[in-house]
Amino acid sequence: MRLCLFDSFADMIETIPTRAIIRTLERESRMLENDLACQRQVPFKEVESILSFCRFVEAVRTGTPVPTPAKSISSLQLEFYRQTIVRLVDAEELPFDAKAEFDNIFSIWPCLGFVDYQSVSV
């Protein structure tokens, strides 16, 4: 059974040492951008999701503005990305505020089952 692109990506990130994650994200980002530039057949929503995460990590690492993330990121993908951010922060590969910035930028609260009580009519 063939894994989807995200599953392969997640398996790779989970199995490498934390100190190698950022370098791996940079390489993965270059490969995916090249696939898009060369118009290769790729699962676009998964590529868009992975690239959003890679760009977020790079921006936080370098202190540059964080680009708007893709809207096609699933809750499963968001949870994996969040866990990876925590792993990178704990290893001091990213600044401490990366976790809060991730939650802010990716606006994950709807995916995690939180309720916006202001929009619920009683």
Query: pLDDT (tens digit, 9 = 90+) per residue, 61-83?
Result: 999 988 888 777 888 999 999 99
- Please say if the pLDDT value at position 16 is more than 90: yes
Give the pTM: 0.82
Which pLDDT belongs to residue 116? 36
| Structural domains of the chain, count | 1
Which pLDDT belongs to residue 35? 81
Which helix (H) or strand (E) segment holds residue 83: the answer is helix 75-90
What letter represents residue 49's amino acid?
A: S
Which pLDDT belongs to residue 115? 35
The CA distance from 122 to 117, in Å, is: 10
Range of the domain at 82: 5-119
70 or 7: whose pLDDT is higher?
7
The CA distance from 67 to 23, in Å, is: 19
Which pLDDT belongs to residue 73? 87
